[in-house]
């Protein structure tokens, strides 16, 4: 990551020096060249600020719109779900999501493996693909009655049929409350939602930036704001988190 940051800084420094020498040659005066260079820098910063502000508003609008969650395990999409439009605080509430099944899930896998996740976007929503290794936990509350341990979670995510999943669910569902699960994809989608919900409860800005940088979280579209966050110092990220 240091190399990625260092090379652009060197290039910017070289370009700045060349630009200053050009200004000096044109204006025949060091003072005039410095003043003109400062004006150019201020204009560029202002333009960049407007671009970032516009991009940040688009990001907020996308987060408040429909969200698509993908769970990646063993380099495959094992679960996917759409979460209805709403605030970030409500996005993981029960009953507000729709699990992907059949062809839709197959299409998600094709898009993921071909590096074209943006093709899954619809409207003004946002897509978040999470690596299971980043989200995995020792225990998970699937419903108020069904609590799974890590081995059971992985068993279900690897299962191909309800015949493999039902024994696990039934062993936990002691009072036999109807779960509404009719396919492996539906159970996996619920697990994906619950894993993400549990993770974001304690997620800090610095950890989010690191996860994006490592590829543990893939966000589509690729907002400029997200790219900038990856390179901000921890102190600034913490300050932004406190203000929000």
Contacts of 101 (CB under 8 A, 6+ apart): 183, 185, 186
In this prediction, residue 211 carries a pLDDT of 86
In this prediction, residue 3 carries a pLDDT of 40
In this prediction, residue 126 carries a pLDDT of 84
Q: Distance (Å, rounded) from C-alpha 231 to C-alpha 236? A: 10
State which residues of the chain have pLDDT below 70: 1-37, 52-53, 55-65, 85-96, 123, 173-180, 229-244
User: Is 113 inside any structural domain?
Assistant: yes
Last residue of a domain, one of 187, 202, 217: 202
35 and 46 in one domain? yes
The torsion of the CA quartet 126, 129, 130, 131, rounded to 10 degrees, works out to -170
User: Is 156 inside any structural domain?
Assistant: yes
Total number of domains in the chain: 2
Q: Give the residue numbers spanning the domain of 165.
A: 67-202
155 and 128 in one domain? yes
Q: Which residues of 199-211 are buried (b: 16+ CB within 10 A; e: fewer)?
A: beeeeebbebbeb
Of 161, 181, 159, residue with least CA distance to 172 = 181
User: Is 133 inside any structural domain?
Assistant: yes
| 64 burial via Cβ count (<10 Å: 0-12, 13-18, 19+) | middle
125 and 99 in one domain? yes
Last residue of a domain, one of 64, 88, 103: 64
- What stretches of 28-123 show up as alpha helix (H) in DSSP? 30-64, 102-113
Per-residue pLDDT tens for 87-104? Answer: 555 555 544 678 888 899
24 and 75 in one domain? no
191 and 148 in one domain? yes
In this prediction, residue 41 carries a pLDDT of 72
pTM above 0.75, yes or no: no
158 and 170 in one domain? yes
Last residue of a domain, one of 64, 94, 118: 64
Contacts of 211 (CB under 8 A, 6+ apart): 134, 217
The average confidence (pLDDT) of the chain is 76
User: Is 226 inside any structural domain?
Assistant: no
179 and 91 in one domain? yes
147 and 97 in one domain? yes
In this prediction, residue 6 carries a pLDDT of 42
């Amino acid at each position: 990551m240091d190399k990625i940051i260092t090379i652009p800084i060197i290039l910017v420094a070289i370009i700045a020096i060349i630009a200053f020498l050009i200004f000096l040659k044109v204006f025949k005066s060091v003072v005039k060249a410095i003043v003109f260079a400062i004006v150019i820098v201020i204009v560029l910063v202002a333009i960049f600020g407007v671009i970032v502000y516009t991009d940040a508003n688009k990001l907020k609008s996308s987060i408040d719109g429909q969200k698509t969650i993908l769970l990646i395990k063993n380099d495959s999409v094992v679960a996917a779900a759409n979460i209805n439009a709403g605030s970030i605080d409500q996005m993981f509430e029960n009953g507000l999501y729709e699990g992907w099944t059949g062809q839709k899930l197959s299409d998600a896998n094709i898009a993921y493996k071909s590096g074209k996740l943006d093709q899954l976007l619809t409207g003004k929503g946002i897509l978040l693909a999470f690596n299971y290794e980043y989200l995995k936990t020792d225990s998970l509350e699937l419903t108020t009655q069904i609590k799974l341990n890590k081995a059971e979670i992985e068993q279900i995510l690897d299962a191909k049929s309800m015949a493999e999943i039902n024994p696990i669910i039934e062993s936990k569902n002691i009072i036999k409350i109807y779960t509404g699960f009719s396919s492996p994809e539906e159970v996996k989608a619920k697990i994906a939602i619950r894993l993400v919900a549990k993770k974001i409860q304690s997620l800090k800005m610095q950890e989010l930036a690191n996860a994006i940088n490592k590829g543990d979280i893939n966000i589509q579209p690729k907002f400029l704001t997200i790219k900038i966050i990856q390179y901000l110092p921890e102190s600034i990220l913490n300050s932004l988190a406190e203000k929000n």
